[in-house]
Amino acid sequence: MTQPEDRPELAPNQTPGLVCSHNHFYSALARGMPAPPRTPTSFPEILELVWWRLDLALDLDLIEWSAKLAALTALESGCTAIIDHHESPNAIEGSLSVIADACAEVGVRVNCAYGITDRHGPEGAAAGLAENDRFLSTGGRGMVGLHAAFTCEPDTIAAAAELAERHGVGVHVHVAEGEVDTWRRLQGHTNDRWLLIHGVHLPDDHGLAGTIVHNPRSNMNNAVGYANPRRFTNPVALGTDGIGTDMLDEFRVAFVKTREVDVTVGPDVAWSWLERNWSLFPEAGSDVVTWSYAPMEPWRLAYTTQVRPTRVEVDGEVVWVDGRPTRVDGDEIKAKAAEAAQRLFARLESF
């Protein structure tokens, strides 16, 4: 296994902390939510009938419990660093700090971004921009978030790119996830620090700079098509798009998708995407996860399910051991998150 530099010597049953390069912690409470008013028949309808109702219902308390639950789940999966993309149109100000504080309490690393969008008019876009600026200005670890080019006016995209430049960070944005997308609006703004999420419908010669983050399980779940990221010259990393933080599992899914279109492909390709995550969150390279299996090699892990961490060390501190977090009461978080989920489900009725 290729290891990040400056990391501790690892045993065959150990890896650095795994990284998830695209997540939505706010979706952690969504499981079990009431069915939408009607069954979505396309990706745009999935957004309108499920996610754009759910994000409207979020308040800061719900964001806190979803983030704590998601952070706990990350440790359960040996994932010590998450690049999160957040949206809560009715609770924008302060939302990124709530997520960062929740993760700090549990003991996982997080990179936060608020997904700016014009879906709620120019005031909504301005508030999203301001939240990214506030969080980054106060020393928060993050990027500038944009929902997607197709929900943002060109001026909003330019403002986000300018804000990111001012803070010396990249922009974290969904790109060409569905067939109908205005990704060309991003041309002329991108650089190597940008995270381009999905890229399913990007042409090979799209001309955008940045790392493409592949989320194969989510793409299948939304029936948007296969990104086939091997075709790009951009670096490729791996995320879950909010369906947990089990990066070994996402690696397996990414691997079988490559095999589905080319049976000669080995697991080294999907594994290289998982390894690329460390370049986006280098601190996780010094975290140490001890696993229930050895050796932690791609050909073995591609076909070995149920590999679990037995011990997780973040920044020199053991934060997970023998099935339990050390800093927080995991049972209490799960119970409080379950209560919060019921409140969220009740609020959904009004959106």
Helices (H), the chain: 43-46, 52-54, 60-76, 95-106, 121-137, 154-167, 216-221, 247-261, 268-280, 298-301, 330-348
Of 131 and 241, nearer to Zn ion (C-beta) is 241
Tell whether residue 241 is a contact of Zn ion (CB under 5 A): yes
Of 241 and 246, nearer to Zn ion (C-beta) is 241
What is the Cα–Cα distance from 106 to 69, expressed in whole angstroms?
9
Q: Count the residues of the shown chain that bind Zn ion, applying the rule CB under 5 A.
A: 1
Q: How far is the CB of 331 from Zn ion (least distance, A)?
A: 29
Region from 39-47, 107-115, 234-242, 314-322 binding Zn ion, contact rule CB under 5 A? 234-242
Of 14 and 88, nearer to Zn ion (C-beta) is 88
> What value does the CA radius of gyration of the chain take, rounded to a whole number of Å?
19
Q: How far is the CB of 251 from Zn ion (least distance, A)?
A: 18
Give the Cβ contact number of residue 123 at 10 Å: 9
H-helix or E-strand containing 79? Answer: strand 79-84
Q: How far is the CB of 73 from Zn ion (least distance, A)?
A: 17
User: Cα 107–170–91 angle (5° rounding)?
Assistant: 60
Tell whether residue 64 is a contact of Zn ion (CB under 5 A): no
Q: How far is the CB of 174 from Zn ion (least distance, A)?
A: 6
Region from 118-126, 238-246, 281-289, 293-301 binding Zn ion, contact rule CB under 5 A? 238-246
Q: Which residue in the shown chain puts its C-beta closest to Zn ion? A: 241
Among positive and negative, which fits the CA dihedral 51, 54, 59, 65?
negative
Region of 156 on the Ramachandran plot (φ > 0 left; ψ -120 to 50 alpha; else beta): alpha
What is the Cα–Cα distance from 162 to 144, expressed in whole angstroms?
10
Region from 25-33, 52-60, 239-247, 342-350 binding Zn ion, contact rule CB under 5 A? 239-247
Q: How far is the CB of 275 from Zn ion (least distance, A)?
A: 21
Binding to Zn ion by CB under 5 A, coded x per residue (else -) over 286-325, reads ----------------------------------------
Region from 8-16, 32-40, 154-162, 233-241 binding Zn ion, contact rule CB under 5 A? 233-241
- Alpha carbon 188 to chain centroid, angstroms: 25
Q: How far is the CB of 169 from Zn ion (least distance, A)?
A: 18
- Alpha carbon 9 to chain centroid, angstroms: 28
Applying CB under 5 A, the residues found at the interface with Zn ion are 241
